[in-house]
Structure 1
Amino acid sequence: MTALDLTGRKALVTGGAQGLGEGMARALAAAGAKVVVADLQHELGAEVASSLGEGHGSVRLDTTDDAGWESAVAETVDLLGGLDVVVNNAGVEITSLIVDLDPDTVRKQLDVNLLGTALGLKHAFRAMRPGGAAGAGGVVVNVASVAATIAFPGISVYSATKSGVDRLTRVAAMESGKLGYGVRVNCIYPGLVPTAMGAGLANDVAEIGLFGSPEEAVGAVIELTPSGRLGEVADMADAVVFLASDAARFVNGVGLPVDGGMGM
């Protein structure tokens, strides 16, 4: 067994029906973990889980709903026989200039990105800590963003929520250690990836006049990235596998940039 072999681990991935979350679910499964795909798009999540092969599963989850989290974690533990890894990936980005902010879209990003992650930590801890439904400790990986580390125009609220995810991560790691939960908590800062969300961002910042075209917006991101390219789903998924694995056994309470150097 290598340090990146996750055979025997049981994982729950939120927002796992598409985009980065789907890639993370597939990478965890490829490393040997059994995976439950949790998503509001339950039918699509079920298709992803089915494509992973036998022993995987799916649950419907609104990450902003406390009772929904309790149910999803219970279903996961029942289906997989435990819970070792939770990936808080579900998120939403709504582009806007600060002068045009809509309180409803601000609240939506706060609810999904920040509250959803906080509830994920709550229920992961309750399940994984001694005496919990799983009770053997584990790993939580939160998905923040390079937007937490740079000042890119048009994504002020998204950036603020992802900065909040970073702070949640660090405090959660400290609480877990102080209370003897045995749960490591880290986050990743993905760079821009041309998923539906990433492509939407490029279109949106052009539409509100910050760039002349989506292609110009993408070019600006690449120019800020020492590696000279956009990120790929596999880049982010491999980082999650690493943090979930024994290779990262002494990595705790940190944010791992996976951004090609954009946020340095």
Structure 2
Amino acid sequence: MAIDLQYLKEVYFAYDKPVPYKCKGGNTINIIPVNVKHGMIFQSSIDIIAFDKNSVNDAKVISMSYLEFIIGLMAEAPVFVQKLVNILKLCLGLEHPAIKFNDKNNKPLIVDEETGIEITHKDFEDIRRIILYQNIPKYDDEYINPDLKKAMEETDKLRNKDIDMPTFERKCAIITAHCGLSKKEQLEMTLRSHIMLFDEVCGEIEFTTVRPVALFGGKGNELEHWIYHKKKGKFDNYITGKDELVKQMGGEGSFSDTSTDTSRGDSLEQLYKGGN
């Protein structure tokens, strides 16, 4: 079925509520948000449901369902079996999951004999996406041109080159210092809420320390407000238009064309517009 992610976000994700999903066989399964105390197990297992299989240069792989794809992975690397079991236990509450194949079409199913749950390969595609969007606030699986995606990843890597990212333990300590929430209280939060809380703590600290300096220098209006963000397209932090580039360089300069082939630029422009 088509997933209305915006609806799920507003009705379930925002309130840390499980998402009810009706499987093709008639059973309804609750997709449970992961708690912080199980976050390390979830994060070490999440790649089993997050592979971009359609980026693989193999028509056979692309034509597979996602469940068929990871069954192939599990046959090659048994570690993926445990990762799938972890996800099914944490997110679906399945204590005895198993793989079997439909007698009619030989398509794989995930079953749990104890609960009678049957998850078809089509159900699994929906469920895995809900799990990812439910637990990772900034998750986005929208298609991006492979060349542009690679450039974006390289840009992010360069931006974070000299940054020593805080450990989970330090993030908890920072939240405790800023909000007064104990680590014990934080461990009972959902992973989604904890990630968002840490981001907001960082945003507030940065805003309250930088804003006075910006105001003193007459640049207060140029600083984005911590709470009221300006609307941005997906690629705004990666693609800069010519006019904006000239402005950043502080002049009215012009750029001369070095090539008559504009196909690459045109394709990037279309991607940019598509992200707004």
> So what's the TM-score if we normalise by structure 2?
0.23
Larger radius of gyration: 2
Of Structure 1 and Structure 2, the greater helix share is in 2
Of Structure 1 and Structure 2, the greater strand share is in 1
> So what's the TM-score if we normalise by structure 1?
0.23
